[in-house]
Amino acid sequence: MEEIKDVVLNYVIEEYLEEDDEEITYDTPLISGGIVDSFSMVSLKRFLENEYSISIPDEKATPEAFDSVNKIVALVREFTG
Amino acid sequence: MSYSETIRKIYLDQIDQIKNAGIFKEERFIHSSQAADIEVEFPAGSSLKKVINMCANNYLGLSSHPDVVKAAHEGLDTRGYGMSSVRFICGTQDIHRELENRMTQFLGTEDTILFPSCMDANAGVFEAVLSDQDVMISDRLVHASIIDGIRLCSAMHDTFKHSNMEHLESKLQLHADKRFKMVITDGVFSMDGDTAKLDEMAELCNKYGAMLFVDDSHATGFIGKTGRGTHEKCGVLGNVDIITTTFGKALGGASGGCVSGRKELVEMCRQKARPYLFSNTIAPVVVSGVLKVLEILSESTERRDKLENNTKHWRKGLTEAGFVLKEGDTPIVPVMLFNAKLSQDFSKDLYNEGIYAIGFFFPVVPNGQSRIRTQISAGHEIHHLDKALEAFVKIGKKYGILGLAKQEIIEKYGL
């Protein structure tokens, strides 16, 4: 099974990066680095919830918790056990 | 004293930071009425300079049209200066309702409600018609006023990549469980001058049962064969559920805006939209001016036709001279320079040559996408455009960018 972090990384690339953008890593700051608009976070949250059959409460879905692929993976693991 | 020196210093520091970042905005004082030829005091205190205006939203050249000015005078004489009221208390005159009806007819919709500005229309409309059971799906390059309106609304919000219909469709599928889905876009995008694919969007909205919202501020009056807007150009007249637009650009350029669309949605705005409920009615003098503008536009397409020809002439001249332009066919013609400092230097040099056009850079446009945004008007004559082109070419040569491709300009000046 594909590692969670690769699933998330691929989703972020597909969803948020434009053709001209530079490559990102697991630790690239996504929201504070201006790659993901905090406005557009909802699709990432919905994607994670659908993909892993989890429900992330709004108070956990903060810009800080979504700020890198590694942080997102940690958040997902909290709910997948 | 509540406004202490400590508080003052914090603000002064913030203003310094804005200056140091090179994004401090300064006004230029225009001593004439708005037109192709204007007289400008810049910097403040300097003597007046005659320049050609290449950055106004005065697309149809009606801002100072004698018939519009005359109609505004008549409105002032017959309906007074102000109404001292919001619409629903005692701020609605016969001419306010007349303008709403005329806009409904012009845009081919079911009903219209006026707002103090299109900024206010966008700030109020979403909250008035959507709730937390719904989702708003907006293009990533929509205007700031739409973003503010979205922030004020409790519905879920998501975005799709600029004009990317596959991405939009995936979002409509992702949010299929929502009660109402509203797809939100600008008709013509203000920074790039490209046009939304409203035909494809309307089709997708139909397929997934979504409503379609268009801010046509940079289109109403001149886009489409008879100037109805982007929906006319794309062949979807009657298929857009909400159109917001402004009277502050092509339609006389004074102020005011409206929400036009499905009867029930307009009625919800009349009942619930806060900028409508809690802000003053549009001044009678402005309403009278816009009514005259609509009369002029209904009599002939001469002005939008001239604008189209001017735009073609301008784009052709710049392209042949070797500038990199954003593709499109609207009167918003961005000359791409990519580097922020180059865009500022270029703009200053243009001003010295008697051409008024502004450089835009991050955060107004994405990093590395700095540009001079030129805007063409039916008020321009060919000699204005040719003089402006001459100045562009002279400065383009100075910086050695004529004939260079995007990558070559970036290599020369950096991002």
Share of chain B above pLDDT 70, in %: 100
pLDDT for B210 beyond 70: yes
CA distances from B369 to A15, B51, B122, B219, B255 (A): 21, 26, 26, 23, 30
Q: Tell me the ipTM for this assembly.
A: 0.82
Which of A46, A55, A56 is the best residue to mutate to test the B interface, defined by the most B CB atoms within 10 Å of its own CB?
A46
pTM of the model: 0.94
pLDDT per residue as tens digits for the range A12-48:
998 888 776 678 899 999 888 878 877 778 888 888 9
Between A39, A47, A50, which is nearest B159 by CB? A39
Mean pLDDT over residues B110-134, rounded? 98
**Catalytic positions of B, written as ranges:** 190, 218, 249
Strands of B358-360's sheet in order across: B332-338, B370-375, B358-360
Chain B residues lying within 8 Å of A19, measured CB to CB: none
Chain B residues lying within 8 Å of A18, measured CB to CB: 161
Mean pLDDT over residues B230-253, rounded? 98
pLDDT per residue as tens digits for the range B387-413:
999 999 999 999 999 999 999 999 999
CB atoms within 10 A of CB A14: 12
Contacts of residue B369, defined as CB under 8 A and 6 or more positions apart, other chains included, come to B336, B338, B362
3-state secondary structure at position B224? coil
Q: Which stretch of DSSP H or E encloses residue B90?
A: none
Helix A4-16 crosses helix A69-80 at what angle (to 10 degrees)?
130
pLDDT for B328 beyond 60: yes
Residues in chain A: 81
Chain B residues lying within 8 Å of A37, measured CB to CB: 140, 159
pLDDT at position A1: 47
Cα of B412 to nearest chain A Cα, Å: 18
pLDDT at position A22: 72
Which band of pLDDT confidence, cut at 50, 70 and 90, is reported for residue A2?
Answer: low
Which of A18, A20, A43 is the best residue to mutate to test the B interface, defined by the most B CB atoms within 10 Å of its own CB?
A43
pLDDT per residue as tens digits for the range B79-88:
999 999 999 9
pLDDT at position B1: 67
Highest-pLDDT range among A40-49, B17-26, B33-42: B33-42
Question: Peptide bond preceding B116: is omega within 30 degrees of 0, i.e. cis?
Answer: no
pLDDT per residue as tens digits for the range B55-73:
999 999 999 999 999 999 9
A and B: number of Cβ contacts within 8 A: 23
